[in-house]
Amino acid sequence: MLFHSSIRKELGRSFGATLVVLVTVVTTMTLLRTLGEASRGTFNPADVLIIMGYTVLSDMPTILSMSLFISVLSVVTRMYRDSEMVIWFGSGNGLLSLVRPLLRFAWPVLVVVMALAFFILPWSFSKIEDLRDKYDKRGDIARIEPGQFQESANGDRVFFIEKDSKGQQTGKNVFIATKEQDKETITSAHTGTVEVMNDDKFLVLQNGQRLERKADKADLTLSTFERYGARVGADDASARDYAPSNAKTTLDLLKAPTPQHQGELSWRAGLTLAAFNLLWIGLAAAGANPRAGRSSNLIFAFLAFVVYFNLLVLGKSWIDNSKMSLLPMLLQLHGGVFILSMVWLAKRHFHWAIRWPKRRMTRAGAAT
């Protein structure tokens, strides 16, 4: 029908505009959060854009669900406001007749949400964990930043170097503080150069001094040198030995049904089921009320979305703590929301109303 095709076209325009806005907002917030984590040494500052891309990609199921919800709610509300629904109802059709065009528009989005939740989401988190692990296992030389005190990979050394220019292998005013089992050493030098000897990296210091103190003695030993070599740790090229549940594939989660794995499965399945249920909530909640204003439906959409996804997080936490199993949580939460949305939609379609019994008014002081 022409009316159905026009609805799908308007839904497509509204969905696209909402998606662009939400992606822009999420990208900006993710960039700020990633920059903060990079400044604290969690990520490599050079990988900020890559990590931001993976993070936004992992958030796409939520973004698509909210875009679909807002587009359905706003388009049907606009039809109520412009009296198009009055004409539609006058032709003998009800609110349930919009289910078919909505499903024809929404099913590709639901399929994409399911694919992202079960396949792309763990892949994105796995890539982020790989970048974090690689940055944690970098060598001592890679950890050194000009003008900053940096700790070595094993935590037994603290470095400070003032480099002449970025990328050079020579620095000035080198400071190394080392703590071993039975002694502490402080070494300072005027210059330092990185040299490779027998496949090992050494920091060769020139024109400096070395202060040493043993743990069981109060005496200090001071020595000066013209040339001194200190072996520095190399990059650790080993593979990542730890994978959180959100970075594991769906097949791995199914093979080992631990509470943490079931909690992650509930989150991934919940993203798809929530997108499906939000479609009917948006259709049932649409309407025009001149007294409430045009922004009332958007406020409701935001609150309903926040409450629903907070319940997803709560259910995941309960499964992780073995307070509830996977299937009962999915049936109670998503099945309950689906039943409530269907009852609400049927009420709007059949114009059900609750009639309260009227109270009989008696006259005070009536004659008997």
Q: Which amino acid is at 267?
A: W
The number of distinct structural domains making up the chain is: 2
231, 264, 296 - which closes a domain: 231
What was the pLDDT predicted at 368?
44
231, 265, 295 - which closes a domain: 231
User: Do 121 and 255 reside in the same domain of the chain?
Assistant: yes
Dihedral of the CA atoms 134, 136, 141, 142 (nearest 10)?
A: 50
User: Do 144 and 253 reside in the same domain of the chain?
Assistant: no
Domain span including residue 44: 2-136+243-350
User: Do 279 and 207 reside in the same domain of the chain?
Assistant: no
User: Do 105 and 248 reside in the same domain of the chain?
Assistant: yes
The whole-number mean pLDDT for each consecutive block of 10 residues of the chain, a chain of 368 residues, reads 78 93 93 85 82 92 93 87 75 80 92 94 91 73 65 72 62 79 82 71 80 78 80 61 84 91 93 94 79 69 88 93 91 94 86 63 46
Q: Is residue 365 included in any domain, yes or no?
A: no
User: Do 101 and 169 reside in the same domain of the chain?
Assistant: no
* Rounded Cα gap, residues 143 and 156, in angstroms: 14
Q: What is the 3-state secondary structure (H, E, C) of the chain?
A: CHHHHHHHHHHHHHHHHHHHHHHHHHHHHHHHHHHHHHHCCCCCHHHHHHHHHHHHHHCHHHHHHHHHHHHHHHHHHHHHHCCHHHHHHHCCCCHHHHHHHHHHHHHHHHHHHHHHHHHHHHHHHHHHHHHHHHHHCCCHHHHCCCCCCEECCCCCEEEEEEECCCCCCEEEEEEEEEECCCEEEEEEEEEEEEEEECCEEEEEEEEEEEEEEECCCCCEEEEEEEEEEEECCCCCCCCCCCCCHHHCCHHHHHHCCCHHHHHHHHHHHHHHHHHHHHHHHHHHHCCCCCCCCCCHHHHHHHHHHHHHHHHHHHHHHHHHCCCCCHHHHHHHHHHHHHHHHHHHHHHHHHCCCCCCCCCCCCCCCCCC
Q: Is residue 320 included in any domain, yes or no?
A: yes
pTM of the model: 0.78
What was the pLDDT predicted at 144?
62
What was the pLDDT predicted at 205?
82
What was the pLDDT predicted at 289?
66
231, 257, 272 - which closes a domain: 231
Greatest CA span in the chain, whole angstroms? 122
What was the pLDDT predicted at 362?
47
User: Do 157 and 303 reside in the same domain of the chain?
Assistant: no
User: Do 9 and 129 reside in the same domain of the chain?
Assistant: yes
User: Do 114 and 20 reside in the same domain of the chain?
Assistant: yes
Quick check: 275 and 109 in contact, CB under 8 A?
yes
User: Do 68 and 30 reside in the same domain of the chain?
Assistant: yes
User: Do 131 and 271 reside in the same domain of the chain?
Assistant: yes
User: Do 58 and 198 reside in the same domain of the chain?
Assistant: no
Q: Is residue 183 included in any domain, yes or no?
A: yes
User: Do 7 and 119 reside in the same domain of the chain?
Assistant: yes
